[in-house]
Amino acid sequence: MEKIIIIDDSVTLRMQLKTKFESEGYEIIEAEDGLMGLDTILHHLDASFIISDINMPGMDGLTMLEVVKEKNLASSARIIILTTETSDKMKERGKAAGVAAWFSKPISEKRMVVLLDLLDKLKP
């Protein structure tokens, strides 16, 4: 079973994604901010995907992903950002940190289907 690490400070969003992705056969691991996300990634180096928000308390998602890349912690995981941020500067920073795709919040049921299709295409 492939693992997805979901890192977001919204409990509601994590539950929404977890419910949908588990019904598609993925194992879900959750973290509520960048610091917990970093620790979670360290304990689940075999995760296939990391889905992260940017704006979170403690450590933001882009800083977390920059640390992950610098330390080569998730070299086989595909990284997807799910955020309200849309600036080109942030997207460039994300790309430099290894982000494969950028999705905007809020995420509808239809967009979750698009996200699931993307996961199928990005599978390692």
pLDDT tens-digit readout, 14-69: 999 999 999 999 999 999 999 999 999 999 999 999 999 999 999 999 999 999 99
Confidence of residue 119 (pLDDT cuts 50, 70, 90): confident
Taking the C-alpha atoms of residue 27 and residue 59, their distance in angstroms, rounded to an integer, is 24
Confidence of residue 123 (pLDDT cuts 50, 70, 90): confident
The whole-number pLDDT of residue 69 equals 94
CATH architecture of 3-122: 3-Layer(aba) Sandwich (3.40)
Only one residue has tokens 């289907």, namely 113
Provide the residue ranges of all domains of the chain, joining segments of one domain with +: 3-122
* DSSP 8-state code for residue 83: E
Per-residue pLDDT, averaged over 107-111, amounts to 89
Residue 112 has pLDDT above 90, yes or no: no
What predicted TM-score, i.e. pTM, was given to this entire model? 0.95
Residue 124 has pLDDT above 80, yes or no: no
Taking the C-alpha atoms of residue 2 and residue 33, their distance in angstroms, rounded to an integer, is 22
